[in-house]
Structure formats: C-alpha cells, structure tokens
Amino acid sequence: MDKTFTISIYSENNVGLLNRISAIFLKRHINIESLTTSQSEIKDVFRFIIIVKGPEESVKKLIQQIEKQVDVIRAFYHTDEETIFQESALYKVKSSALFEERHIQNIIKESHANIVTVSPEYFVIEKTGFRNETDRLYHDLAPFGLLQFVRSGRISVTKSKMGISEIIKKFKSDN
Amino acid sequence: MKTKEQITLQEIESESIKISGAEAVIRCLLAEGVDLIYGYPGGAIMPVYDELYNFKDQLNHIMTRHEQGATHAAQGYARTSGKVGVAIATSGPGATNLVTGVADAQIDSTPMVCITGQVGSHLLGSDAFQETDIIGISTPVTKWNYQITKASEIPEIFAKAFYIARSGRPGPVLIDITKDAQFDTFNFTYQKCRGVRSYKPVPALDIHAVTKAAELINQAKKPFIVWGQGVILGGAEEEFKALVEKSGIPSAWTILGLSALPTSHPLNIGMVGMHGNYGPNLLTNECDLLIAVGMRFDDRVTGNLETYAKQAKIIHFEIDPAEINKNVKVDVPVLGDCKESLEAIIPLVQKKTYPKWLGRFDELMKVEIKEVMDKDLRPKKEGLTMGEVIVSINKHTQGDAILVTDVGQHQMVACRYTDFVRSRSNVTSGGLGTMGFALPAALGAKMGAPEREVVAVIGDGGLQMTIQELGTIFQTQSAVKIVVLNNEFLGMVRQWQQLFFEKRYASTEMVNPNFIAIAKGYYLEARKVYKRENLDSAVAEMIASEKPYFLEVCVEKEDNVFPMIPTGASVSEIRLK
C-alpha cells in the first residue's frame, strides 16, 4: 500500500552527492514529492529530507541503496506519525488589496500568517504549517489575486533519536 | 634572525619537495603499489603522460587502442591479480569511452581506479573543447567519483579512491583532474587512507545470525548451496571448501563464482541460471534450505522470482547490506566478509553427507549428459561444436588455464564445460554482458598472472567490437591465446530469434572478414580450423606456443545452447531442447 514516507539522510557535504542520490530514485522510477537539503545539528554534516509516496518495501530498498553510497553516513525512513514536520509558503499579493479589502486582514490574522514585507506595490505573507493550512490560505487569498506563490519542501525532525554523533564519535575512536 | 644564506637554503629545500599535480598522480599510484596502468593519451591528460615518461622504470603504461580496451584490460588485471586495476584517459571522448568498462566493473564488483583529464578549471561549464561532465555521466556506474580542481587535493583523493575501490564490496572509482591541477605545484606528502567516516566497507559479523544459520543447516534434509564471486573477492576459497566438505552439501556456482571450487570436486554440482545445469536449476525448487554465499540473486540466476525456491528457507551470506532482501526475501541474512562468517560457521556445522539428495543431482546430470552434453561434447555430426573446442582446450591445459570469455553462446558453453583446478581463473563479463570484453580483458588477465596460461574464448561478433586490441597484444607480445568460435552469427541473439521470434533472423548473420589475415596483419601466429581432425593439433600448437596465438575455429552455424530457462520463466521450466 502506498504511504507517505520521510527519508532523512545524513551525509558529507560533497559536490555531486545530490546527483548520486537522485539517480537512485530515477533508476527505480520513484517520484520525489519534495527534497530539502540543509546543514544538520552536527558541524560539517549535511541533511537531506526527501518525501516519497510508495509501498514500505520499496522505500526500505531505497534506504539500503542510499546508505550504500560512500558519502552517506546514515539514512532513515519514517512515517508521518514518527516525525514533526512543517512546510513554509510565501504569498505575494497586490498592496491595494490589503487596503481596499478589509476582509484580507482578517484572513491573515486568523491564519496566523506573518507579513514579511509591505511595499507600495505588493506585500508578502509567510505561513508555516501543515499542507492543509498553507493550502487553505492559498484558497482564501486566491480571490484577491496572488501575484506569486511558492511552497517549500517538507522539513522534519524525528521523535526518536538519530544517533549520528555516536557514529561519528565511534569512527574517530576506531581510526 | 636568519642569515640571508640560511633563508635561501630553506627556500631551495621547500622548492625541492614541491612537485606538480601530474607528478603527484604518479607518486600516488606508486605509493598504492601500482606498477602497471592501461590508458590512452590526449590533450587534457598530457601533463600526467609527460610525467609518466620520467617514471618509465617504475610504472609500466600499456597503451591500448581504445579507452574501452584500457578499462577491460584493467578489469582483467584486477580479476586475476586481486589488485586494483588502473585505467587512464583524456577528457571528453576519452572519458566517455571508459564508461562501458566502468559500468561493467560496477556490476561485477571489480576494483578499478579510472583517472581522466579534464579541461582547465576556468573553462569548466563553458562547453570547452573536449569538455564533458564525466562526473555526472559516471555517477550511476561508479562506487565513488570525484573531480579534482586543485593540485593539493590529489594525495588525499587518490588515497581515498584506492581505499574505496578495494575495500568492502569492491568497485570502480573515477577521478577527474582538471588540467591546471595537473600543472600546479604543491608540497607533496602521502598518507594511505585507513577509513572514511561515512563509509562502512564491512558490516560487523553477527554471531547470532551465524548461530541461527548453523541451526538451519544442521536441521536441513535437502540443503543446497549457491555460491558467487563473493567467495573469490573475499579470498574465502579455503573456508568455503571446508564448509562444503564438512556439511556435505551439494554446491552450485553462479557464472562469476566459477573456479572458486575445483570442477572435479564431488560436491561441485554445476552452474545455476539461464544456461546452467539441469539438476541445480530444477532442484532449486525442491531443496528445503538454500544457502547463498556471496551472490546477489541476479535475474539470470533466479528466473521468475514468484516461483523461485518458495518451498525453501534461505540463508544469505553477504557483504553488501543493500543486497539483503533486494530480489529474494531471506530468512537469515548473515552480513559480513564471508571469509570471516564462513570461518565462524564451520565449527557450528555438523559433519554430514546427503547420499540420497546428492543422488538426485546425479540422476538429473545423467539426463543432461544424454540430452545435451553428448551432442555438445562428443558430436556425431559433421560440423564442429563449441563444446568440443573446449574439451580440446581442457585436454591441453589440464584445466589449469585462466579462461577469459566474451558474451554470448561461446561464453555459456565455455563456462559450462571448462575445467578449473584453481580460483581466480574465470574472467567474464557477467552482470553487464559486455560484448568486446574478452580480448582486452585477456591481455590484462595475462599481465595480472603472467605465469599462467590465459585462453580467451571469443565469438566472431564480440571479437569485432574490440578487435583493435590485437594491436596492443602484438605490441606487448603478451602471450594470450585467442580462440575465436566463428559461427558467422550473433549466435545467442539468433538462438532467441529461433526460439521466440519465429526464426526471423533480423541483423544477426555476419559477413565476416578474413580474421586470419587480420591477425597476421598484426604479425600474430594464426591458424584456422574447419575440420574435426585438425582441431586437437591446432589447440596443442596454440598452447605450446610461447607467443600470442590466434586460433579461429569455424563451428556449426545454427547450434543452440541448452539447457535454457526462457526469460521470465521459472527455474523449474528449464528446457533441454
């Protein structure tokens, strides 16, 4: 049965690793729903968050192939229930809407979105939350004319411990 | 305060340990124990070639006639010597020509380091002359790759490359070096790589899994071992033999596992897979325990997975965690280096014999001899068979030659019928099935084991894919014995056309040139055999020769290789005709 899984990869920050990882998905015709990369809690260690939909069996095999890569320290997969996750979205709206339509101010207030910037031509709202929350705001703002909209990939942390520092510490003591 | 003279002296001294990136490349290779490399020069790698000129006495460079040849030669060298093969090429087409060999080494786990030149770093991304993104291109087919843009990176990256290529499950590594990094100078020091923090080459042995596996083995009534190249790569031939002999379990090989256990061993019951032996394939679906050792359940071995050994419990000895449950779900995975894990399990295994179960393999072998082998090996028809050529080679080498094969019918026949007395004697393109592999691989195989006889068995199709390497064989005078089994067809494809495409022989018949004239054009000893009565003396003459020798044998045009498991069929559906 297809389910959403969050793949977390801890890796070296090497040029070309993204290519190597995406090739693993490409080869197996598995679509990446979203991909986010950033530094991790450990200095010099990089973290990938990749969201995929599929049967658990094939995600397991993906993890095995990802972990096999020389520059990957560890890879994990988790279900939504095992992670705390959020997405961020930016909405660019005509400034006139803000002043002419009082209703829009209520929408912003109720959605707990933040106004990032306001200029005479446009203003930008930021909303971080679950997909349904950023979606709702999208639909609420759409009638006023969205100049631009963009949503980030999912970022997430796991409820359980990852233990990467231990792996690195063990390597240091072994070598 | 230092005097002026002291400062100058110091400066001179530091100058003297400053070397170019190109020289550093050579010194790194020497530090890794490399004394032989294969390659082809060109613009972006010229600084390294220029340095090779200075190190001629320490580092032998074999110029192949095509970069693909360099990779296959490096593979052949690696497979027989157990060392890392090295291939070097220029940027652009030089680099892309390596790709087939790199992919072959990746799927067959061959340790290889490839070095490519690259345009200057200031030109990267500008579509410069002979610029190609070889890192991007080679990523899916390398164990690791890296682009060096600064000379100072060379020692660390080379050390890492050799470590990665040879450790754990071996594989190919590609290092791309920009031309400016080859020219620039830096202070050179070399330190061997002892570990990479993100890379765990060998999983720790799990004693619990070993114990569990031993229990299953001791309880089994009809156990069956299938071994692969892992036994050879792990240098575990002795441990493997000890396990087989103590446990008394009939054992079959995958094509890459061939030669790890001598052919004559009473428990060596033949090959599994598409053209493997009748008994081992049929009884895969009758055994109650399947013990896989250093093999990866390739589709050519398993046939239809839905009907593969469903009745059996499965134990998998494997170094690569990604292979566990990849194709076949196993009951007990035993991760680790098989030399270690086999050694650990031997004392836990009871000494047993399975005369009745082994008898089943004997019975089915009798069927195969009658239905297939008699026709292949002792033909009554006029035309020569591939099988009888192998019989003659066995006779004259006493089964102690290294067999190098290409891809197709001749490969299956040669692997089925060649006798082996020791390990690391079978060099073939297994996973990728690369036609054109054998001729350059044979050159490398001979250089990796110069004291041994090397016989390359090649089809007329595959020969013509890398025929230019006859030039390298001539130039090096490497005493490779080349046997071309000429049926004037792409035989394996023709066989499929006959069996599955209503004999519609689209583009499989070859109008061949005069191979003997070509071989003689390269000043090689060459002989052609059409008739049975001349075969044995020609093979004798070839083996007796101390020089490279080219033997063309004209075989029956439309012979087929049997047994055969049609693609997608079950191992139980193996056909004898």
**Prediction ipTM score:** 0.92
Location of structure tokens 């194709």:
B327
Read off the DSSP letter of residue B567. T
Chain A residues closer than 8 Å to B321 by CB: 64, 67-68
A82 Cα to chain B: minimum distance (Å) = 24
Same domain? For A80 and A7 the reply is: yes
Query: Does residue A158 sit within a domain?
Result: no
Same domain, A78 and A143: no
Same fold across B15-187 and B207-360 = yes
Q: Does A157 fall in a domain?
A: no
Nearest C-alpha of chain B: how many angstroms from A84? 26
Q: Kindly list the domain boundaries of chain B, sorted by start residue.
A: 15-187, 207-360, 382-555
Q: Name the CATH superfamily housing domain B207-360.
A: TPP-binding domain (3.40.50.1220)
User: Residue A47: phi, psi to the nearest 5?
Assistant: -130, 135
Q: pLDDT tens digits for chain B (577 residues)?
A: 444 444 444 444 444 579 999 999 999 999 999 999 999 999 999 999 999 999 999 999 999 999 999 999 999 999 999 999 999 999 999 999 999 999 999 999 999 999 999 999 999 999 999 999 999 999 999 999 999 999 999 999 999 999 999 999 999 999 999 999 999 999 999 999 999 999 999 999 999 999 999 999 999 999 999 999 999 999 999 999 999 999 999 999 999 999 999 999 999 999 999 999 999 999 999 999 999 999 999 999 999 999 999 999 999 999 999 999 999 999 999 999 999 999 999 999 999 999 999 999 999 999 999 999 999 999 999 999 999 999 999 999 999 999 999 999 999 999 999 999 999 999 999 999 999 999 999 999 999 999 999 999 999 999 999 999 999 999 999 999 999 999 999 999 999 999 999 999 999 999 999 999 999 999 999 999 999 999 999 999 999 999 999 999 999 999 999 999 999 999 999 999 9
Task: Name which of B198, B320, B326 to mutate to probe chain A: the one with the most chain A Cβ atoms within 10 A of its Cβ.
Answer: B198
> Closest partner residue to A27 among B140, B325, B326, by Cβ?
B140
Domain stop point among A84, A101, A121: A84
Interface test with B, best of A18, A48, A70 (most B CBs within 10 A): A70
Closest listed residue to residue B499, CA positions, set B429, B409, B571: B409
Count of helix runs (H) and strand runs (E) in chain A: 6, 9
Whether A23 has its CB under 8 Å from any CB of chain B: the answer is: yes
Distances (CA, A) of B163 to A25, A45, B32, B366, B539: 27, 22, 9, 47, 42
- Helices B154-166 and B21-31, packing angle to 10 deg: 30
Query: What's the Cα-to-Cα distance from B571 to each of A135, B273, B361, B565, rounded to whole Å?
Result: 53, 8, 15, 6
Tokens of B483: 């046997």
- Residues in chain A, pLDDT under 50: none
CB pairs under 8 A between A and B: 54
**What residues in A contact B147, CB-CB < 8 Å?**
15-16
Of B140, B164, B195, the CB nearest to A23: B140
The reply to whether A42 and A98 lie within a common domain is no
Same domain, A74 and A116: no
Give me the amino acid identity at A9: I
Q: With contact defined as beta carbons under 8 Å apart, do B162 and B126 qualify?
A: no
What are φ and ψ of residue A35, in 5° steps?
Answer: -145, 130
The answer on A105 and A59 residing in a single domain is: no
Closest residue in A to B160 (Cα–Cα): A70
Q: In whole angstroms, what is the distance from residue A166 CA to residue B359 CA?
A: 53
Give the per-residue pLDDT at A100. Answer: 81
Q: Is the dihedral of CA B237, B242, B247, B251 positive or negative?
A: positive
Query: What are phi and psi for residue B424, nearest 5 degrees?
Result: 55, 40
- Asked if the C-beta of A155 comes within 8 angstroms of chain B's C-beta atoms, the answer is no
- How far is it, in rounded angstroms, from Cα B373 to Cα B367? 9
pLDDT given for residue B7 in this prediction? 45
Contact A19 B321 (CB under 8 A): no
The residue whose two tokens read 């012979």 is B559
Task: Judge whether A160 lies within some domain.
Answer: no
Same structural domain for residues A108 and A55?
Answer: no
CA distance B218 to chain A (A): 31
- Claim to verify: residue A70 and residue A105 sit in the same structural domain: no
Known catalytic residues of B are 67, 129-130, 179, 492
* Contact flag A72-B198 (C-beta cutoff 8 Å): yes
B15-187 CATH? 3.40.50.970
- Closest in B198, B320, B324 to A71, CB measured: B198
Of B146, B164, B197, the CB nearest to A171: B197
Instruction: For residues B387 and A168, give the distance between their C-alpha atoms in angstroms, rounded to a whole number.
Output: 56
CA distance A50 to A20: 14
Task: Pick the residue from chain B with its C-alpha nearest to A26.
Answer: B140
A residues 43-82 lying closer than 8 A (beta carbon) to B: 60-61, 64-65, 67-68, 70-73
A46 and A28 within one domain: yes
- Looking at CATH, the fold of the domain delimited by B382-555 is given as Rossmann fold (3.40.50)
Q: How far is B35 from chain A (nearest CA, A)?
A: 27
pLDDT value of position A163: 86
Min distance B435 CA to chain A CA atoms (Å): 23
Q: Are residues A21 and A62 in the same domain?
A: yes
Return the number of other C-beta atoms located less than 10 Å from residue B33's C-beta. Answer: 9
Residue B9 confidence (pLDDT) = 44
Residues A110 and A132 both lie in one domain: yes
The token duo for B290 is: 């399947």
Decide if A174 touches B, using CB distance below 8 A.
yes
Same domain flag for A46 and A96: no
Which member of B136, B196, B325 has the closest CB to residue A19? Answer: B136
Q: What pLDDT score does A1 carry?
A: 79
Q: Do A11 and B198 touch (CB under 8 A)?
A: yes
Residue B351's identity, in one-letter code, is K
Enumerate the β-bridge partners of residue B87: B38, B114
Domain of residue A57 covers 3-84
φ, ψ for residue A9, nearest 5 deg: -125, 130
Q: Is A42 on the interface with B (CB under 8 A)?
A: no
Cα separation of the two ends of chain B? 92
Q: What is the chain A residue with the closest CA to B169?
A: A68
CATH number for the domain including A66? 3.30.70.260
Per-residue confidence (pLDDT) for residue B8, from 0 to 100: 46
Chain B: give the shortest CA distance to residue A56, in Å.
Answer: 13
Q: What is the CATH number of the domain that holds A119?
A: 3.30.70.1150
Q: Please count the structural domains in chain A.
A: 2
Nearest CA distance, A102 vs chain B (angstrom): 51
pTM: 0.95
User: Does residue A175 lie within any of the structural domains?
Assistant: no
Q: How far is it, in rounded angstroms, from Cα B271 to Cα B256?
A: 10
**Under an 8 Å CB criterion, which residues of B touch A?**
135-136, 139-140, 143-147, 164, 194-199, 320-322, 324-326
State the burial class of residue A82 (Cβ atoms within 10 Å of its Cβ: 0-12, 13-18, 19+): middle
The pLDDT value recorded for residue B4 is 46
Does A169 contact B at CB distance below 8 Å? no
A49 within a domain of the structure (yes/no): yes
> What is the pLDDT at residue B565?
97
User: Which three-class secondary structure state does DSSP give residue B308?
Assistant: coil
Mark yes or no for CB contact B197/A27 under 8 Å.
Answer: no
Establish if A162 belongs to a structural domain: no
- Buried-exposed string B110-125: b where 16+ CB fall within 10 A, e elsewhere: bbbbbbbbbbbbebee
CA dist., res. B76 & res. B70, Å (int): 10
Asked if A64 and B326 come within 8 Å (Cβ–Cβ), the reply is yes
β-sheet bridge partners, residue B334? B317
A54 lies in the same domain as A71: yes
Identify the pLDDT of residue B15.
Answer: 47
What's at B233, amino acid-wise? L
